[in-house]
Structure 1
Amino acid sequence: MKPQYSFIVPIYNEQENIPELYRRISAVMDRMDGPTELLLINDGSRDASLSMLRELREKDERVCYLSFARNFGHQIAVTAGLNFSRGQVIAILDADLQDPPELIPDMVEKWRQGYQVIYAQRIQRRQESWFKRFTAYAFYRILKRLADVDIPTDTGDFCLMDRQVVDALNVMPERNRYIRGLRSWIGFRQTAIRFERDPRFAGEVKYTFRKSFALAVNGLVSFSKVPLRLSTYVGLLSATAAILMALLVLYWRLFQPGSPINGFATIAIAILFLGAVQLVSIGILGEYIGRIYEEVKGRPLYTLAEVGGFTPAPGNTDNGNHLRTTPYVDSQPH
């Protein structure tokens, strides 16, 4: 029977969380008013996560899983889940249980009221460092101000979407994906459900500062041209400062020949400043050019090493996003 609801959960080295994750999600699935599937995406885990997904599939036919041939990243794992989801209503949540599955029925009620995107908005981050809270707070507000679309603040990938929305996301060809931004870009009726984010249930944090910073840069570059314009503005400012400096140097030479400011140090500082501006501008330009390079190569977003629970392949996945390296099977390949 075709599922009415699909729950998508990316998995990366989450063996400590999978048993509790399944317990809580299955309890929510039992409460749903229609057939439900749990789609788990193994993003190249190096622990026992994949074997645990196989066991869950054998125990519960509602569980389906995808296993990447290597680690492709959280956003691509979510994208794969969207490609393979078969439900009319699709929910996305993380495996660390910071996104409470028990909130999904409330999201479904909002969906029944006519909303097609219901995103979870954090009002508090429990047991997180002040640095994490500050950087997250600052980033979301900077992104909201600079982005070309209205991306809600303090929201992650935890959301519930209608099939019409997911179909629109699945045909988007871009490779550097920022799901929460794409979710806002496509439009449709959207609303928020506020919640307090729980601490991680077990295991180590997978989104390190480096990965979080890369995701932030991806969001800014994907949905704003302001960094490119900023290079122009800084260049104009530097040119203005150079003209003023030239006038000051001329004044010092004519009227204050003994001024300590007139000398090598001033010239060196000016050269270093302009060199820094040029390098930063080239770096920003290179970020955009690099994305163009990624797009024109046209490679699949991910490769699949193993698929369980899809026989045959769902019809809405023929979009060129993945490269199939094994047939779709209901168990692990031999």
Structure 2
Amino acid sequence: MSAPCPATTTPALSLVVPVFNEQDNVEPLARRVHDALRDFSDPYELVFVDDGSSDETPARVAKLADGDPRIRLVRLSRNFGHQAALLAGLEHARGGAAVSLDGDLQHPPELLPALIARWRDGFHVVQAIRRVPVDDRAAKRVSSGWFYTLLSRVARIRVTPGAADFRLLSREALDAFLACRERCRFNRGLVQWIGFDYCEVPYDAAARHSGRTKYSYAAMLRLAGDAIFSFSSWPLRLAGLAGAFLSVAAMGYLVWVLYAAIAGLAITGWTSLAATMLLLGGAQLIVLWILGEYVGRLYEEVKQRPIYIIRSGSAPARRECVRNADGSG
């Protein structure tokens, strides 16, 4: 059985769990984590990151922490989103390796020994890959597969379908990951971008233990946008190719109009002309939207606002991380 891990002890393993309104899940999650690591002889810590919950989640985690020195609570000042909360937890991880998993128990803690075993085999990034459950939404499954295929082609990073934020990072891989300071984050892509020895461990996702999912289709679309625009200039190239094609088509149409005028042919087709103008106007708006996505992300970067703000919790493992809300580091 693992020994307790007080604040003065450096743990061998950190488990990072971002939570948002998961009051009914934190206690069974902690219990299952401890059961899964019963044979893990080294000290470990369980870091819960409360992402601005409005229910009893922080109170219940604090109660768990009062009776178990292995449990730590980091509270953010408001809801910054799952990717930011995950980053906050990883920056507070003190272990020689860090495992991130969701707080809804769809990432089974019973897989932890398998992830640790692959880490001890020498792998720096051990990614858990979800097998598709029978009750998964077909539309989500198909769109997710298309998205990852597209991302691997345009962004020169390979993200396996079924890969979520359930993974183990060695300390070397974690330090490299934390060195990436962009604000619009797609953590799954960053994990692939840093390199290091990589392997995958499949698992069967369980149904959510309690509550409802926080990832709506709108949130998934925003995450997909962050992935595409953060890792590829392909949308700009596509806009350039579309502009070149439309320019060639316009030149061809102009040649035909001049020929028809010289030959005395009747030039009709106001409908086609109006359709052409609408097509060109729509193409221009699409190009402006693509440029706006890149400019907006540049705007977020140059403001240099912190990715998250700590309301309460121990100091992060990396001292250059964001300050607490009261200004202390």
* TM-score of the two chains, using structure 1 as the length reference: 0.90
Partner of 2:56: 48
TM-score of the superposed pair, with normalisation by structure 2: 0.92
Contact 1:126 1:197 in 2 (8 A): no
The reply to whether residue 189 of structure 1 matches residue 197 of structure 2 is yes
Q: Which residue of 1 aligns with 2:3?
A: none
Distance of 1:60 and 1:203 partners within structure 2:
25
Q: How many residues align?
A: 319
Shift of 1:288: 0.8
Q: 1:265 aligns with which of 266, 271, 277?
A: 271
Q: Is structure 2 residue 319 aligned with structure 1 residue 318? A: yes
| Residue number in structure 1 paired with 2:65 | 57
Partners of 1:289 and 1:148 in 2: CA distance: 22
Indicate how the Cα distance of structure 1 residues 250 and 49 shifts in structure 2: closer, same or farther if over 3 A, else same: same
Partners of 2:134 and 2:165 lie apart in 1 by 18
1:149 aligned partner: 157
Paired residue for 1:288, among 279, 284, 294?
294
What does 1:91-130 correspond to in 2, within 5 Å? Answer: 91-130=99-138
Whole-angstrom CA distance in 1 between matches of 2:112 and 2:253: 61
Whole-angstrom CA distance in 2 between matches of 1:163 and 1:280: 42
Q: Find the aligned partners of 2:170 and 2:28 in 1 and give their Cα distance.
A: 27
What is the Cα deviation at residue 22 of structure 1?
1.8
| Conservation of the 8 A alpha-carbon contact between 2:20 and 2:57 | yes
Question: How do residues 84-95 of structure 1 correspond to structure 2 at under 5 angstroms?
Answer: 84-95=92-103
- The superposition leaves residues 227-256 of structure 1 with CA deviations (integer Å, 9 ceiling, x where unpaired) of 111110111111122223334445666475
Give the CA deviation at 1:177: 1.4
- Could you tell me how far apart the structure 2 residues matched to 1:73 and 1:44 are? 9
1:4 alignment partner, one of 6, 9, 12: 12
Residues 7-36 of structure 1 show CA distances to partners (whole Å, capped at 9, x for unaligned) of: 001001111222221221121233322101
Q: Structure 1 pair 123/11, CA: closer, same or farther in 2 (3 Å)?
A: same
Q: In the TM superposition, what are the counterparts of 1:92-241 in structure 2 within 5 Å?
A: 92-241=100-249
Tell me the percent identity: 36
- Aligned-pair CA distance for 1:3: 0.8
Distance between the aligned counterparts of 1:229 and 1:32, measured in 2? 50
2:37·2:112 contact (CA, 8 Å) conserved in 1?
no
Deviates more, 1:125-134 or 1:100-109: 125-134
Q: Secondary structure at the match of 2:132?
A: strand
3-state secondary structure, aligned to 2:72: strand
Q: Which amino acid aligns with 2:323?
A: L
* Structure 1, 140-149 or 60-69: larger mean CA deviation: 140-149
Corresponding residue for 1:332? none
Summarize deviations over 1:190-209 as a string: whole Å, max 9, x none: 01111222222221110000
The 1-side partners of 2:118 and 2:264 are apart by: 74
Amino acid at match of 1:324: N
Question: 2-side partners of 1:327 and 1:94: how far apart?
Answer: 29
Which residue is equivalent to 2:5? none
Q: Which runs of 5+ in 2 are unaligned?
A: 1-8
* Distance in 2 separating the partners of 1:6 and 1:107: 13
Q: Residues 45 and 72 of structure 2 are in contact (CA less than 8 Å); yes or no, is this contact kept in structure 1?
A: yes
Q: Could you tell me how far 1:171 is from its partner in structure 2?
A: 2.0
CA positional deviation for 1:176: 1.2
What is the rounded CA distance, in whole Å, between the counterparts of 2:319 and 2:229 in structure 1? 28
* 8 Å CA contact 1:76, 1:302 repeated in 2: yes
Using the alignment, how far apart are the partners of 2:61 and 2:260 within structure 1? 75
What runs of 5+ residues in structure 1 fail to find an aligned partner? 329-334
Worse-matched range after superposition: 125-134 or 204-213? 125-134
Amino acid at match of 2:72: C
